[in-house]
Amino acid sequence: MRAILLLTLINAAGPAIGADTVIQNPAGRAAMTLNGAWHVIPDPYETGYYDYRRMPFDTAPNPGSGFFLDRKPADKSDLVEYDFDSSPTLQVPGDWNSQDDRFFYYEGTIWYRRTFDYTPSSADRRSFVHFGAVNYRADVYLNGQKLGTHIGGFTPFAFEITGKVRATGNSLVVKVDNTRHLDAVPTVNTDWLNYGGITRAVTILETPATFIHDYRIQLAPEATNRIAGQVQLSNAQAGVPVTVTIPELGVKIRTRSDTNGHAVFEAPARHVELWSPQHPRLYSVTLATDRDTTTDRIGFRTIAVRGSDILLNGKPVFLRGISLHEENPLRGGRAWSEDDARLLLGWARELGCNFVRLAHYPHNEHMARVADELGLMLWEEVPVYWTVQWDNPATLANATAQLTDLIARDHNRASVIVWSVANETPVTPARTGFLRTLIDTARTLDPTRLVSAAMEVHADPADNNHRIVDDPLGAYTDLLSFNEYIGWYDGLPDKLQQIRWTFGYRKPVVISEFGAGALQGMHGDRLTRFTEEHQEDLYRQTLTMLQGIPQWRGATPWILVDFRSPRRPLANVQDGWNRKGLIGSNGQKKKAFYVLQDFYGRKALESRAQP
Ligand code: GCB
């Protein structure tokens, strides 16, 4: 509800769509792709952004040498010290790190420019330029005019270009800056590579003057034979007729928008086949006004927690999970395409998973759509990682915006069952207050899903074999999720069998991480670090230990595939990769893959009645 309210307020306060409002189902509206080769100018000193007094050109009365002007010398004597046309190109979507060795560890600004022609299909149509994601800050200019700025590397944004876009010769310039900042989300310290660039698709979207900006369609609360939802139009216009049709459920709802351009509805449905991993049923849903139509494929299911059980469609479910970074090791670089999603989620299915943790930031929209189709439940997360500035209101606003946009983007995906607000954060009052605000936001925006965070384990100073999970944050989450590295950062795998657990809450324990590093193809005995045998042993012993925990309801071990991390320099072993993957950076499976596959196979058989 808050998302919708927020959109309404923004609409009332300014232009209908701002940088931070998410257009639902953009793929359903794509009019033209701007993917492909863009000319780029690396600008480590930000010469094209600031003048020599360090004043931004884009707010100066005389913008002079701002690269966003995409200028050409007026004549042979005119001085212009940059030229997009003769500069090299990079592919969009794509990170810059994996496209050119010179940019492998580059952090800073690169200017991107793309020219295009565009004529809307009719004069009364509106147009938007839509970005799937840009890491981390994007300043966007069309034909020398600033459209806006977006902050946050993993969420979509759009700017209206109606009346600004020309039939021919448009210049779209994006200043992309992936500099890490202490007050940012994430902060400067992460265990993954800070890929820069326009990492997801860029499209021109076309809409009527009043269009279906956002919608949410789901089962009515406490009912599996009623469909409920809401629609938000782009303009606060009353009395616009809205229809929602789900032909296979015999649903045809007719309603009208209120003065805020908002419509709420509920109607009975024919027998709904509920979405589950065993039966990932999706229904075609069409929303229409007198001027606009959009179609989506949506699944219906319930998710809840009762005591220490997780209930999917009312039945207890065990989460056979795995964690994933958004990276395609075979091509190298950030994953962004549907094919990438099929590769990664296909591996998860082969492992026997019914659940995937998309760590540690919002992954691209294909991931949730392919998961919907394959029947994989998802944990989605925002990059509040390790530590951010807990006392800084701007940092909280940033994290809130990222969470809000993630929820707005994926609130129609049946696959998503958990919103996670943080990973491995320190227990302090400031942090707990910060995260509680995020949890409250998630619950207000979406009361239909679980909310969690990957917490930490604490050692008992009086007993070396006693581990405690009693983080005060656990009082506010639905799951008791924590990362544990017994046998890797904490002793050797034989220690696992000695461990005794105390949990501060009677909630489902879902282990958000455990794991060990191993170089694919490196062999030795089970006590030798970085061998496949060591990792295999750790998996065996961890699974044995976990089975002794009565409230254990799932796990997302760390991690499906090796991933790039500048924190991992060990030569000939890590070489800049975190090697905790069950699959190596070469795409080959390690021994531990088969240990977990075997375990999940047995678990699936055991709970045949389960999804
Ligand atoms: C963690 C982090 C994860 C790291 C992992 C590791 O606890 O959540 O981002 O990559 O440990 O490999 O140390």
CB atoms within 10 A of CB 347: 20
Q: Dig out the tokens for 156 from the structure.
A: 């979509």
**Nearest residue by C-alpha to atom 7 in ligand 1:** 483
* CA pair distance 298, 246, nearest whole angstrom: 10
* CA pair distance 220, 235, nearest whole angstrom: 26
Average pLDDT score over residue span 554-570: 98
Please report, as a single letter, which amino acid is at residue 421: V
CB atoms within 10 A of CB 171: 18
The whole-number pLDDT of residue 589 equals 98
* CA pair distance 37, 116, nearest whole angstrom: 12
Is pLDDT at 20 greater than 90 in this prediction?
no
The whole-number pLDDT of residue 239 equals 96
Average pLDDT score over residue span 59-87: 95
Confidence of residue 5 (pLDDT cuts 50, 70, 90): very low
The whole-number pLDDT of residue 6 equals 35
Closest ligand 1 atom number to CA of residue 488 = 13
Is pLDDT at 11 greater than 60 in this prediction?
no
Closest ligand 1 atom number to CA of residue 489 = 13
pLDDT in tens, 159-184: 999 999 999 999 999 999 999 999 99
Distance 19 CA to ligand 1 centre (A): 32
pLDDT in tens, 538-552: 999 999 999 999 999
* CA pair distance 505, 503, nearest whole angstrom: 5
Confidence of residue 607 (pLDDT cuts 50, 70, 90): confident
Confidence of residue 30 (pLDDT cuts 50, 70, 90): confident
CB atoms within 10 A of CB 477: 25
Confidence of residue 19 (pLDDT cuts 50, 70, 90): very low
* Percent of the chain at pLDDT exceeding 90: 92
Distance 359 CA to ligand 1 centre (A): 10
Distance 137 CA to ligand 1 centre (A): 25
Is pLDDT at 453 greater than 70 in this prediction?
yes
Confidence of residue 609 (pLDDT cuts 50, 70, 90): low
pLDDT in tens, 379-418: 999 999 999 999 999 999 999 999 999 999 999 999 999 9
Distance 562 CA to ligand 1 centre (A): 12
The whole-number pLDDT of residue 222 equals 85
Q: Write the CB contacts of 384 (distance below 8 Å, at least 6 apart in sequence).
A: 185, 186, 399, 421, 422, 423, 425, 434, 435, 438
The whole-number pLDDT of residue 226 equals 96
Closest ligand 1 atom number to CA of residue 565 = 10
Q: Probe ligand 1: pick from 191, 485, 538, max atoms within 8 Å of CB? A: 191
Confidence of residue 14 (pLDDT cuts 50, 70, 90): very low
Distance 191 CA to ligand 1 centre (A): 6
pLDDT in tens, 269-325: 989 999 999 999 999 999 999 999 999 999 999 999 999 999 999 999 999 999 999
Mean pLDDT rounded to a whole number for the chain: 94
Distance 583 CA to ligand 1 centre (A): 16
The whole-number pLDDT of residue 33 equals 97
User: Could you give phi then psi for residue 574, rounded to 5 degrees?
Assistant: -90, -50
* CA pair distance 78, 494, nearest whole angstrom: 73
pLDDT in tens, 234-265: 988 899 999 999 999 999 999 999 999 999 99
Note if the pTM is more than 0.75: yes
Please report, as a single letter, which amino acid is at residue 140: V
Ligand 1, pocket residues at CB < 6 Å? 191, 360, 423-424, 483, 513, 558, 578, 580
The whole-number pLDDT of residue 141 equals 98
pLDDT in tens, 357-376: 999 999 999 999 999 999 99
Q: Dig out the tokens for 354 from the structure.
A: 């019914």
Residue 327 C-alpha from the chain's centroid: 12
The whole-number pLDDT of residue 29 equals 87
Confidence of residue 608 (pLDDT cuts 50, 70, 90): confident
Nearest to 344 by CA among 360, 363, 317, 362: 363
**Nearest residue by C-alpha to atom 13 in ligand 1:** 191
pLDDT in tens, 471-507: 999 999 999 999 999 999 999 999 999 999 999 999 9
Beta bridge partners of 226: 268
Side-by-side strand order, sheet with 458-460: 458-460, 463-469, 500-503
**Nearest residue by C-alpha to atom 10 in ligand 1:** 191
